[in-house]
Amino acid sequence: MPTRHRRRLTLLAPVTAAALIGTAVTVAGPSPTVQAAPAAVPATIPLTFTNNSGRGEPVYVYNLGTELSTGRQGWADANGTFHPWPAGGSVPVPAPDAAIPGPAAGQSMTIRLPKFSGRIYFSYGQKLVFKLATGGLVQPAVQNPGDPNRNILFNWSEYTLNDAGLWINSTQVDMVSAPYAVGLKRPDGSVVSTGRLKPGGYRGFFNALRGQPGGWANLIQTRADGTVLRALAPGHGIEAGALPSTVMNDYIDRVWARYASSTLTVSPFAHQPSVKYHGRVSGDVMNFTDGTGAVVTSFQKPDSDSVFGCYKRLDAPNDQVRGPISRTLCAAYNRSTLLTNSSQPDTSSAGFYQDVVTNHYARKIHAQMADGKAYGFAFDDVGAHESLVHDGDPRQAYVTLDPLD
């Protein structure tokens, strides 16, 4: 299976394969450029969308992304027909209305998924506002108080459907909001799913976040009518001024001091355990060497935002050296395992989030998932702790909206 990675969205992030779903720089799923053996995957597959939320508002569904056969960005209607976005402007202009009316509470509907790398957005009570800039689609960025979607309850799933099959996941990389589960049907008729919270897990997550000292409660956004809309991911919280920009600094400082006098070993490929890189700190730089002693890449001392976003000073390009090392470091920083294990990745969740300084947002959402799996940060797939299902010959996909309890 291709490696998977994510990138935080910017205020004007275009809907591209790199901004949505793909390999080492993307939100989740295999790269649209992955060359796979031909498979009997049809041009579209059915997705059953079920509303078990118990909420009375209308639901709106969107299927936005990249058409893999052409690389064009756009949207798909309920029949799976692709519609390219028109040109945007230097001042963002309204996008065409791509909303598909969703099912009422207790009801289901079926749409068709085309061979796409994209997102399935859904919103309650109100359509989402999408605009087009010269760089592409302007995605919701609710860490910005002026975003027109700020007071709408919404969320999204991510997927890639190509000749190698279907990858579909739930995500908390940008926020925790209206709960849902994803699934797929395999050729033998069995259904696999992920993303479902434990009973009471939605409220449990927000209550736990409210009780976490250090500003973590400020990640929660609430509407004037009292509706809890979401909790921002900590990187977005830093951007919005809701979380101190220094929140991970103590841990980062201790890691830096530790590896100034000892060696961090990174083995980034589970299928190639003999490939190892060795990291040592010198001043403000951690240098990694290969087996010959040659420096292969170097990282500046990261700040908290770099850790939470797995970017900037922990950038992970689509290569075979820096990217795999960076994603391993990112996971270890977020899970706070670098001081307890000098051989990374540490894939046993028993040791995750044990330091007092850690990604408490990711810790708390994992604790509330029925199967323990979540996409709490960009490289939560290190060690296969992500909320993702895949099959090479999918017969059907599922998105199920769950109660906000």
What six digits make up the tokens of 216?
A: 């973590």
Q: Rounded to whole angstroms, how far apart are CA atoms 51 and 216?
A: 30
Amino acid identity for residue 189 in this structure: G
How confident is the model over 385-404, as a mean pLDDT?
98
Q: Cα angle vertex 328, ends 297, 324, to 5°?
A: 55
Which range in 31-35, 40-44, 189-193 is most confidently predicted, on average pLDDT?
Answer: 189-193
What six digits make up the tokens of 296?
A: 């292969």
Q: Rounded to whole angstroms, how far apart are CA atoms 159 and 161?
A: 7
Active site residue 57: no
pLDDT at position 28, please? 37
Does position 287 have pLDDT exceeding 70, yes or no?
Answer: yes
pLDDT at position 17, please? 27
- What percentage of the chain reaches a pLDDT higher than 90? 90
Contact 337, 359 (CB under 8 A): no
How confident is the model over 39-55, as a mean pLDDT?
93
The answer to whether 44-240+362-401 and 249-358 have equal CATH topology is no
pLDDT tens-digit series, residues 61-98: 999 999 999 999 999 999 999 999 999 999 999 999 99
Q: Which CATH superfamily is domain 249-358 in?
A: Beta-1,3-glucanase, C-terminal domain (3.30.920.50)
pLDDT tens-digit series, residues 309-351: 999 999 999 999 999 999 999 999 999 999 999 999 999 999 9
Instruction: Give the dihedral of Cα atoms 349, 322, 376, 280; nearest 10 deg.
Output: 50
Residue that the structure tokens 């059953």 belong to: 48
From 174, 386, 391, 402, the catalytic residue: 174
Does position 29 have pLDDT exceeding 80, yes or no?
Answer: no
Per-domain residue ranges of the chain:
44-240+362-401, 249-358
pLDDT tens-digit series, residues 91-147: 999 999 999 999 999 999 999 999 999 999 999 999 999 999 998 999 999 999 999
Contact 178, 47 (CB under 8 A): no
pLDDT at position 363, please? 98
Active site residue 290: no
pLDDT at position 163, please? 96
Q: Rounded to whole angstroms, how far apart are CA atoms 314 and 307?
A: 7
Do the strands 264-266 and 136-138 form a parallel or antiparallel pair, or are they unpaired?
unpaired
Does position 375 have pLDDT exceeding 80, yes or no?
Answer: yes
Residues facing 278 on adjacent strands: 265, 289
Does position 172 have pLDDT exceeding 60, yes or no?
Answer: yes
Element (H, E) at 236: helix 234-240
Residues facing 390 on adjacent strands: 167
pLDDT at position 317, please? 97
Contacts of residue 85, defined as CB under 8 A and 6 or more positions apart, other chains included, come to 15, 73, 74, 75, 95, 96, 132, 136, 137
Q: Which CATH superfamily is domain 44-240+362-401 in?
A: Thaumatin (2.60.110.10)
Does position 24 have pLDDT exceeding 50, yes or no?
Answer: no
pLDDT at position 381, please? 97
Ramachandran region of residue 394, left (φ > 0), alpha (ψ -120 to 50) or beta?
beta
Does position 293 have pLDDT exceeding 90, yes or no?
Answer: yes
pLDDT tens-digit series, residues 234-261: 999 999 999 999 999 999 999 999 999 9
Question: In whole angstroms, how large is the CA radius of gyration of the chain?
Answer: 21
pLDDT at position 182, please? 98
Does position 18 have pLDDT exceeding 90, yes or no?
Answer: no
Of the CA atoms within 13 Å of residue 9, those in its CB half-sphere come to: 28
From 57, 67, 158, 239, the catalytic residue: 158
pLDDT at position 353, please? 98
Does position 30 have pLDDT exceeding 90, yes or no?
Answer: no
DSSP states of 379-396: TTTTTT-S-EEEESS--E
pLDDT at position 40, please? 74
Residue that the structure tokens 């409660």 belong to: 217
Residue that the structure tokens 């506002």 belong to: 129
